[in-house]
Amino acid sequence: MSSCELRESLDVVLNFLNNDEKHTVLVVDDEENNLQLLKRTLRGQYNILTAHNGSEALDIVKQYGDKISLIVSDQKMPVMEGTEFFKHVRETNPQIIKILLTGHVDTDIIVSSINDCDLFQYILKPFEPEELKIAVESGITKYSMSYNNKIFYKELRELFYKTIRAISNALDTKDSYTNGHSLRVTLYSMILAKQLGLDEDYMEDIEIAGLLHDIGKIAMPKSILCKNGKLTDEEFAIMKSHPVRGEKIVINIKKLQMISEWVKSHHERWDGKGYPDALKGENIPLAGRIIALADTYDAMTSTRPYRTALSHETAISEIKRCAGTQFDPRLADIFVSLSDEIDDARKNPEEAYKKYSFLAKNINFKISKETTTQQS
Ligand SMILES: [Fe+2]
């Protein structure tokens, strides 16, 4: 490549990096005249990148693939044929639309390139500039539709998780004594679930379940929820209805149907003395057993109207003592073995949430300090 060509290529690259309005099209042809014709035909409407062979083109795709919407490539080229080049592109950047230029009709090449390269269209050479323009325009429309669908899906997902966080934060701030409770329970549950080697989907669900485990408390009267002292038997009976109320709220959301069972079971006990269904042992969903441990640890290490917070060490001793009665003994053992990690998360939930969260990985939540700072 001459210094003049190099300069021209650099200008094109800089131009397209600075110009987000136009789509970027990569044109690949070993014959300089053809390359210039392709460039002239398309450059008014698009940012154009050029390459003289498949190998050079692959380097460009590797570097700028995310910004390229469409590739027009010649089939017959030295170094690498157009179809071979497209196969590589399909693997690394499947979203890019591909148009092949061929000198003659070879049905085998055309059929296999449609199948193997996910080819959008082929154009016979010599081509009419208008024909190329129409093909590229259709390809760009297809690219935009698929891109917009992806954005729409991402936005929906973002809205879904932001809503869950908003509900969870609203719940945590309803009672000043449980400020940040749902987030910390989520964290401890995730630390335990991660140690159990549960898959990413399960981890994401357990994160949602942790955030929503006490959602039924939204229906509890504030006089009971924020009572400054021990609850009467009658008040406690009302309070005990929150897992079932939570289940009823969550079950209406299709994506959260499985989680509703976990919400319902977070006050069950391993020995069958819990509520609402007095389930025993492994009849309690695994996530329910995990959240129960996390929930009790957080209750013990938080100040409540009727007592001050227990130390981390005392809470861990209690968990050891209650393994096999209140808690699943295997989970309790693992929880105790994760004592340092749990303690670190308790002291700095904001940082820990960034580390463990699957939801926050997808979108950047702003976690407000007031909702994560533990009462002391
Ligand atoms: Fe609860």
Q: Which of 98, 154, 217, 264 is catalytic?
A: 217
Ranges assigned E (strand) in the chain = 24-28, 47-51, 68-74, 97-102, 121-124
Find the range with the poorest average confidence among 36-45, 110-119, 288-297, 347-356.
110-119
Residues 193 and 118 in one domain: no
Residues 75 and 193 in one domain: no
Residues 51 and 171 in one domain: no
Contact 65, 92 (CB under 8 A): yes
Q: How confident is the model at residue 363 (pLDDT cuts 50, 70, 90)?
A: low
The more confident residue out of 135 and 366 is: 135
For residue 260, give the 3-state DSSP assignment.
helix
Find all residues with CB under 8 Å of 118, minimum gap 6, and list them: 86, 90, 94, 98
Distance 276 CA to ligand 1 centre (A): 11
Residues 120 and 172 in one domain: no
CATH number at residue 45: 3.40.50.2300
Find the range with the poorest average confidence among 144-158, 197-211, 243-257, 341-355.
144-158
Distance 297 CA to ligand 1 centre (A): 12
Whether 227 shows a pLDDT value over 60: the answer reads: yes
Stated pTM of the model: 0.67
Distance 267 CA to ligand 1 centre (A): 6
Distance 70 CA to ligand 1 centre (A): 53
Whether 7 shows a pLDDT value over 50: the answer reads: no
Residues 54 and 119 in one domain: yes
* Residue at 134 is within a domain: no
How many distinct helices (H) and strands (E) make up the chain? 18, 5
Contact 144, 173 (CB under 8 A): no
CATH number at residue 161: 1.10.3210.10
Find the range with the poorest average confidence among 72-86, 163-177, 202-216, 300-314.
163-177
Among 109, 127, 145, identify where a domain stops. Answer: 127
pLDDT by residue (tens digit) across 278-324?
Answer: 999 999 999 999 999 999 999 999 987 777 899 999 999 999 999 99
Whether 30 shows a pLDDT value over 60: the answer reads: yes
Q: Cα-atom radius of gyration of the chain, to the nearest Å? A: 30
Among 127, 147, 175, identify where a domain stops. Answer: 127
The more confident residue out of 157 and 266 is: 266
Distance 243 CA to ligand 1 centre (A): 6
DSSP label at residue 375: P
Q: Is 217 a catalytic residue?
A: yes
Find the range with the poorest average confidence among 55-64, 167-176, 238-247.
167-176
Distance 291 CA to ligand 1 centre (A): 9
Residues 259 and 336 in one domain: yes
Number of separate domains in the chain = 2
Q: How confident is the model at residue 155 (pLDDT cuts 50, 70, 90)?
A: confident
Q: How confident is the model at residue 165 (pLDDT cuts 50, 70, 90)?
A: confident
Range of the domain at 227: 156-371
